[in-house]
Amino acid sequence: MPERSIRPMEARDLPRVSEMERLCFATPWSKDAMEYEITQNGLARYLVLEEGGLVCAYAGAWLVFEEGHITNVAVHPDFRRRGHARAVLSALMRLALGEGAEFMDLEVRVSNGAAIALYQGLGFKKAGLRKGYYEDNGEDAIVMVNDRLGRALGSAPAP
C-alpha cells in the first residue's frame, strides 16, 4: 500500500476537499464554508489523510470546552475500505482528547450503515434520534456519542 500520512487541513487542500464534498454528500459544504472553518473558526480542527501524496480522506470537529462535535468525515469513493476513515477519525479523536475533550458526538443518517458501523467500531454508541434532521429528504439523524475516548483509542491503530 502507498505511504499514508495525516496532517492538518490547509488552504491548498480546499479544491480537492470541495470536490470530495460533492462526491460524498447530498448537501456538500461549499469551498467558502470549508475555508472559513480552517482559517477563521478557532474551534474547528480538520485533518486530511494523504495516500501517496494525494488527499483521499478528511475529518473535522468543533472543540467546545469538554465536547468534540464531529462535523465531517469523508473518504473519496476510489479509496474506500482501506481503513482511511478509521485512521483519520482516530487521529481526530486523539487530537480532541489531547486538547481536553471528554466526549465526542455526531449526527448520522439512519440509512448510512457504513458510517454507523465505522463509528460503532470506534466506540460511539447511539444516544438519540433527531426526527427529520436532514433538510434534503427529511431523513432522521441518529445521535452518537463516545464518552470513553481514551479507551476507544487504546484499541485503534495509530495512523
For 143, counting Cβ atoms within 10 Å of its Cβ (0-12 exposed, 13-18 middle, 19+ buried), the class is: middle
* Residue 16 binds ligand COA, judged by CB under 6 A: no
* Residue 94 binds ligand COA, judged by CB under 6 A: no
CA distance 153 to 155: 5
Whether 135 is catalytic is: no
* Residue 112 binds ligand COA, judged by CB under 6 A: yes
With CB under 6 A as the rule, give the number of residues binding ligand COA.
Answer: 19
- Among the candidate windows 31-39, 81-89, 94-102, 124-132, which touches ligand COA by CB under 6 A? 81-89
Q: Which residue has the cell 472559513?
A: 36
What is the enclosing helix (H) or strand (E) of 47?
Answer: strand 44-51
Nearer to ligand COA, 84 or 94 (CB): 84
CA distance 126 to 119: 10
Alpha helices of 2-108 — where are they, by DSSP H? Answer: 14-24, 31-39, 84-98
Nearer to ligand COA, 23 or 39 (CB): 23
**Residues lying near ligand COA in the complex (CB under 6 A):** 24, 73-75, 80-86, 108, 112-115, 117-118, 121
Catalytic residues, which ones? Answer: 107, 119
